[in-house]
Amino acid sequence: MSIKETVSAARSCWTTGDGAESDVVISSRVRVARNLAEFPFPHQLSDESAEQVIQAVSLAVNNTADQGIGILEMTGMGELTPVERQILVEKHLISPDLLENYKNKAVVLNNDESVSIMINEEDHLRLQCLLPGLQLHEAWHRLSSIDDVLEKTLDYAFDEKLGYLTACPTNVGTGIRASLMLHLPGLALVNQISGVLSTVSKLGFAVRGLYGEGTEATGNLFQISNQITLGQTEEDIIAGMVSVARQIIASERSARQALFKERREHMEDRVGRAWGILKHAGIVTSEEAMKLFSDLRLGRDLNIIDLIPPDLITELMIMTRPAFLLKMSGKDLSPFERDVQRAKLIREKLA
């Protein structure tokens, strides 16, 4: 898939609804930070040095062609429009940080968008693998193979005692961040979400909103990630994440079943109202859409409603974001016009 196709299509590898435990786990992501030994960290790079980093990574990417890891395509952030750059954020393929001083930055994507590499973000390289459902082990193995191939060409900054050297000290060591996007409406509705997430935080995991650090949880979607990268192996970190995830999954499913058993009429009414509003509303805000999508997803997972393909709601989450609406309309839209366009799009997709 070319970059122009990527920014024109809501569907991505992680939106398919496949993968284990997909009723609770929307996606699994593993990201590693790497830096080149001969260059300062990105916040100290000159424009000339930043371009040299891009060229070095480009050469390494070109050398992966015959390594059995698929086709990787590099695109300079300056080659994209502001809307197209924001769509990459909305699809979780890059971080918001890559939009700052974007002219000296680039992104590498593979065909199905399961792998992306951000160049000159906080570190010279941020390699990411994003898969549907609970697939952290699979994501790590895929990412590790790509990392190994790139390291044949690139000289990474590495210390025998500390491990991989990174711009932020909290990433030193393995440089790995493993995260899960979880849909937790059951725990939210039985007022247990704060207690569960507080416990997760005390265990050393970060809890964030839909788009990572500094963002709020909307639509009962939460991102949980490891905070420790030093003193543990990558496999230990992944195993710890999976263990915590399985406990959260069990708690969420228990809450859902209790709601369905004890408040079935209320749950059916809640899902029915969400379906009715989304099918017929003429104006829908972004925040309202996310709440209604959450109710609709819960209704599908509880078999209250079965008219919706498993991947459609996730794709709608992306399609109805501001940048994607602007891209599809082909013109600037006011906030009110976006709300009207969003409602129209949802009606069409659910028809």
Q: Cα dist. 232→112, 171, 237, 246 in Å? A: 31, 12, 7, 20
Q: Is 209 annotated as a binding residue?
A: yes
Give the integer Cα–Cα distance in Å for 190 and 338: 33
Q: Is 213 annotated as a binding residue?
A: yes
Give the integer Cα–Cα distance in Å for 127 and 171: 13
Residues 6 or more apart whose Cβ sits within 8 Å of residue 138: 28, 131
| SS3 of residue 230 by DSSP | coil
Q: Is 281 annotated as a binding residue?
A: no
Give the integer Cα–Cα distance in Å for 27 and 183: 10
Tokens of 13: 């590898």
Find the helix packing angle between 312-319 and 286-301, rounded to 10°. 180
Residues 282/176, Cβ–Cβ less than 8 Å: no
Q: Is 253 annotated as a binding residue?
A: no
Q: Is 126 annotated as a binding residue?
A: yes
Closest CA relative to residue 349, chosen from 316, 306, 322, 301: 316
Q: Is 85 annotated as a binding residue?
A: no
Q: Is 347 annotated as a binding residue?
A: no
Q: Which residues are paired to 132 by β-bridges? A: 27
Q: Is 334 annotated as a binding residue?
A: no
Q: Is 212 annotated as a binding residue?
A: yes
Q: Is 181 annotated as a binding residue?
A: yes
Segment (H or E) for 153? none
> How many degrees, rounded to 5, is the angle at CA 350 between CA 217 and CA 260?
60
Residues 48/137, Cβ–Cβ less than 8 Å: no
Q: Is 102 annotated as a binding residue?
A: no
Give the integer Cα–Cα distance in Å for 146 and 148: 5
**26 residue type, one letter:** I
Q: Is 29 annotated as a binding residue?
A: yes
Closest CA relative to residue 31, chosen from 105, 151, 122, 106: 122
Q: Is 180 annotated as a binding residue?
A: yes
Residues 6 or more apart whose Cβ sits within 8 Å of residue 50: 42, 104, 105, 120
Q: Which residues are annotated as a binding site for ATP?
A: 27-31, 92, 126, 177-181, 208-213
Q: Which residues are annotated as a binding site?
A: 27-31, 92, 126, 177-181, 208-213
